[in-house]
Amino acid sequence: MEKKEKKNRITPELLKVVIIRTLPIMTGYVVLGIGFGVLLQKAGYSWPWAFFMSLTILSGTMQYVGVDLLSSGASLITTALVALAVNARYIFYGVSTIDRYKGAGWMKPYLIFTLTDENFALICSTEPPEGVDPHFYAFLVSAFDQSYWIIGSVIGVLLGGALPFDSTGIEFVMTALFATVVVDQWREVKNHIPVICGLGLSILSLVIFGPERFLIPALAGIALVMSFGRRWIDEH
Amino acid sequence: MNTDLHSVLTVAVMSACVILLRALPFLIFRGKETPAFITYLGRYLPYAIMGMLLVYGLKDTEVISAPHGIPELIALAVTMGLQALFKKSLLSIVAGTILYMFLVQMVFA
């Protein structure tokens, strides 16, 4: 295929499209970012911590769990194991965007770094405006999404100490996020074995190993069951 | 304020692990066809992982002692019910969280 010259230029029209399409993510990231910032502030960290975590990690789950890891003084080995276990799903976003991000040039490292759940979903479900390089479009969407997350998390820390209300229980925002994704996924696919397997093995592991140690056995169990149960799960 | 070296290293390790996971497929399957088993896992593992994350969010729930996980159960049911009915993630998340905060602060305090 002949390579068409597409513009990598920010125009008001392009900005408008990107802002409108990222509005839902903006709301979600600012709210969830504030939730993270409040927790981080409660754990005794100042706003630059939120800024650099959101800049270099950019993962809601990782950063929420990260507050726990930071405040409990977890060892670096534990941190690495939990980080790999909690975020293993990112591998599959990578697997799904290998072709899409081919030839992205200087933007590719950033496009790969910004493969969050929401960003991945938005980029895979929308087309760039006429005449705009799809990689540049994805780059802008990703940069906007990350800036919402950074802004939200910094606001959270700054508000944290001076929240006009009692924030006890705000950590439920993360559980609620996972719950909505489970509902969406349940509706999306007919085969419910994987999610039931994930829920069941995690509860089992939680009962056996307790809240501090259940993640790794749960993930190992899930990987085992999914590998050996392929013939009952895979419909293709 | 907490600015100790261990915290900086913890953040660095988290960042490195997340970047590694995101970049791994691009490094491994460079110019190759993705194996069928990986495609299979890519298709179904995310569902299992989300179930695990939901349990993770609820891991510290007090089931044996009061309030026996009742606030979590109510808030979870409302969140999932709203999502099933209206498919508006933000509405479900915000409503569920505010309800949970109300329950643990006012009702089961």
pLDDT at A148 (0 to 100): 96
Q: Do A73 and B96 touch (CB under 8 A)?
A: no
Question: Which residue in chain A is spatially nearest to B46 when comparing CA positions?
Answer: A89
Give percent of chain A with pLDDT exceeding 70. 96
- Which of B:9-68 have CB within 8 Å of A? 9-15, 17-26, 29, 34, 37-60
Reading the block at residue B95, the tokens are 């409503």
State the pLDDT confidence band at A1, using cuts at 50, 70 and 90.
very low
Between A201 and A90, name the one with better pLDDT: A201
Which residues, other chains included, contact B31 with Cβ-Cβ below 8 Å and sequence gap of 6+?
A: none
Res A147 pLDDT > 90:
yes
Domain edges within chain B: 5-107
Q: Closest residue of B to A197, CA-based?
A: B48
pLDDT score, position A7 = 65
Q: Is A45 left (phi over 0), alpha (psi -120 to 50) or beta?
A: beta
pLDDT one-digit tens code per residue, A8-30: 888 999 999 999 888 878 877 88
Q: Which of A197-206, A217-226, B20-29 has the lowest mean pLDDT?
A: A217-226
> Nearest-CA neighbor of A117 among A96, A139, A147?
A96
Instruction: Report yes or no: B96 and B75 within 8 Å, Cβ to Cβ.
Output: yes
pLDDT at A45: 94
- Considering only CB atoms, B47 lies closest to which of A63, A115, A198, namely A198
Confidence of residue A2 (pLDDT cuts 50, 70, 90): very low
Instruction: Please report residues of A whose CB lies closer than 8 A to that of B85.
Output: none
Look at residue A6 in the predicted model and tell me its pLDDT: 65
Residues of B in contact with A214 (CB under 8 A): 55, 59
Do A40 and A162 form a contact (C-beta atoms < 8 A)? no
Closest to A176 (Cβ–Cβ): which among B43, B55, B97?
A: B97
In angstroms, how far is the first alpha carbon of chain B from the final one?
30
Q: CA–CA separation, B91 vs B97, rounded Å?
A: 10
Mean pLDDT of A22-43: 86
* pLDDT tens-place string over residues B34-74: 778 877 876 787 788 788 889 988 988 988 888 899 999 99
Q: What are A63-115's pLDDT values in tens digits?
A: 988 998 999 888 899 899 889 877 877 887 887 788 788 889 999 999 999 99
Whether the predicted interface score ipTM is above 0.90: no
